[in-house]
Amino acid sequence: MTVRPIAVIIGMMGAGKTRVGKEVAQLMRAPFIDADVEIEREVGMRIPEYFDRYGEPAFRDVECDLITRRLRDFNGIFALGGGAPMTAGVQDALADYIADGGKVVYLMADPREAMERAHRGGGRPMLNGGDANARWKSLYTVRDPVYRQVANVHVPTRGQTPLAAARRMMDMINERTVHVNVTNGEDYDVRIGEGSMTHLAEVLGSKPAKIALIHTQPVQRHSDHARAILRQAGYQVSDIVIPDAESGKTIDVANGIWQRLGDEGFTRSDAVVGVGGGAATDLAGFVAATWMRGVRYVNCPTSLLAMVDASTGGKTGINTPQGKNLVGSFYTPAGVLADMKTLASLPNDIFIEGLGEVAKSGFLMDRQILTILEEHAAQLRAFDGASFLGSGLEDVVAELIERTVRVKAYHVSADLKEAGLREFLNYGHTLAHAIEKLEHFRWRHGNAVAVGMVYAAELASLLGYIDRDLVDYHRSLLSSLGLPISWNGGSFDEVLALMHRDKKARGNKLRFVVIDGEPGHMTHLEDPPADAVREAFDRIRS
């Protein structure tokens, strides 16, 4: 079993690494060690004395050796001295630790607060000689860029008590991160956890001056939080409210936003932030992709469906009278911040529909998702936002989100523009999009996908790709989660006409994604027999 620290804390002298680190360790019921204390115990003297007797290079060698060992044999919170990350050997060891899933936390204290604490603490050989404040500032100028590069978690602590800073750090340590590699595009991270939205300024960077904050009215409390974060970071924020759900994904809504961006002088260096469900993040991405041929954007999904589907992958678009997402662009975000706190405001039915896309990823690639859904079906179906945060269910949902995002990341990394592998993500979507259109988008996407998967399973069974047991498993699992498995809306002819407009269709031939044999093995079903297409449709009528 791999032993490694829960987190490694770096930062300037006086940043509070030891005090905050001890608070975090107590909150997480984990041990804490300070590298400087460990070094003094090993060498048998205080660090200032060691500096005077042997010099800084010798001290750095001892420090690097101890840190490298502790990164392999300690399982708590580990605070490093201010100069440790400046050593090449420590940088290499921390990079290996991060590659193994570790969290290196840069505790970003306010310089004035940190300098005051550094003077109070004493015993700082690096501040000896001349004006201590000037020396601290000189070291900060050199070290800050290195800290930012070495760390994979950045925690600003200005004006916070040690306990408040510790709680913030704990949230960020517990965060799950999925890195999305994009062939012929820019990579980005999907961050999943309580408080993930606090990364907004970090992801947007210093280049934008103006931010278009696009959101719907129902998520006002979350957009207020995003706005506060953005303004505190110094951005000029334009608040843009759009209609909720699919009614917000129209050319008229997009045109209104373009006009406003023009009137307010948005340039190519400015940015867009989308806060809300899948429709809001789709539209925000489309606006970002088309304004001045592309500006930076960040998605902050607030629903389970958006977190596992729409916010990741770079598919942006709007609906037309002829169908869903027929006009759009492939354009990747700078980052996706899936803040688990936003799920606490979800009604039960909105949460449940997101499980349709989660289950799809289980059938598509990760069978452990199906196992988790089976084991926790009753809890998931009884989701209550008021008691969600801090419950055992929160960890279950976080793992489901991470696993589902990893499935999507695998498929989009090598196929951004849906030329092959990525099409498998459309399992269940051929019928689902037809249902949504015929229901005038009153049916939610995840519910339609659930019915669409049952249809695809029935079709695959009729044509010998899977056995009847797997069809029944689709039905039993999805219904146990509270998802629909049948539909009595439009006629077969209406559905057939819409399926022919599906993006996977080729010419006048229908094309479906189906399971071949067992979950995890997908194939394209080209131009299936008309009688099978109709028979499968009849079987999903209740």
Distance CA 432, CA 128 (A): 69
Residue 17 is assigned to a ligand binding site: yes
Distance CA 505, CA 499 (A): 8
Strand bridging mode 315-320 / 323-330:
antiparallel
Strand bridging mode 335-339 / 188-193:
parallel
Residue 344 is assigned to a ligand binding site: no
Distance CA 536, CA 461 (A): 9
Residue 221 is assigned to a ligand binding site: no
Distance CA 360, CA 404 (A): 9
Bridge partner residues of 286 (DSSP): none
Amino acid at 209: A
User: What six digits make up the tokens of 97?
Assistant: 């630790």
Strand bridging mode 104-108 / 7-10:
parallel
Residue 302 is assigned to a ligand binding site: yes
The SS3 assignment for 481 reads: coil
Distance CA 158, CA 170 (A): 16
State phi, psi for 107 to the nearest 5 degrees: -80, 105
Residue 479 is assigned to a ligand binding site: no
Residue 195 is assigned to a ligand binding site: no
Residue 19 is assigned to a ligand binding site: yes
Distance CA 27, CA 12 (A): 23
Residue 167 is assigned to a ligand binding site: no
Residue 404 is assigned to a ligand binding site: no
Residue 429 is assigned to a ligand binding site: yes
Residue 249 is assigned to a ligand binding site: yes
* Residue 320 near residue 326, CB atoms below 8 Å: yes
CA of residue 364 relative to chain centroid, distance: 20
Distance CA 111, CA 259 (A): 42
Distance CA 61, CA 134 (A): 27
Residue 248 is assigned to a ligand binding site: yes
The SS3 assignment for 75 reads: coil
Residue 315 is assigned to a ligand binding site: yes
Q: Please tell me the number of Cα atoms within 13 Å of 227 on its side-chain side.
A: 15
* Residue 176 near residue 118, CB atoms below 8 Å: no
Beta strands in 46-116 (DSSP E): 77-79, 104-108
How far apart, in Å, do the first and last CA atoms of the chain sit? 50
The sheet carrying 7-10 orders its strands as: 32-34, 77-79, 7-10, 104-108, 153-156
Residue 16 is assigned to a ligand binding site: yes
User: What six digits make up the tokens of 355?
Assistant: 């499980």
Residue 312 is assigned to a ligand binding site: no
Residue 143 is assigned to a ligand binding site: yes
Distance CA 340, CA 102 (A): 21
State phi, psi for 20 to the nearest 5 degrees: -65, -40
Residue 14 is assigned to a ligand binding site: yes
Residue 137 is assigned to a ligand binding site: no
* Residue 344 near residue 388, CB atoms below 8 Å: yes
Greatest CA separation for the chain: 89
Residue 314 is assigned to a ligand binding site: no
The SS3 assignment for 500 reads: coil
Residue 296 is assigned to a ligand binding site: no
User: What six digits make up the tokens of 235?
Assistant: 């951005």
**Which residues sit in the known binding site for Mg(2+)?**
18
**Which residues sit in the known binding site?**
14-19, 36, 60, 82, 124, 143, 160, 244-249, 278-282, 302-303, 315, 324, 357, 429, 445
**Which residues sit in the known binding site for NAD(+)?**
244-249, 278-282, 302-303, 315, 324
**Which residues sit in the known binding site for substrate?**
36, 60, 82, 143
**Which residues sit in the known binding site for Zn(2+)?**
357, 429, 445
**Which residues sit in the known binding site for ATP?**
14-19, 124, 160
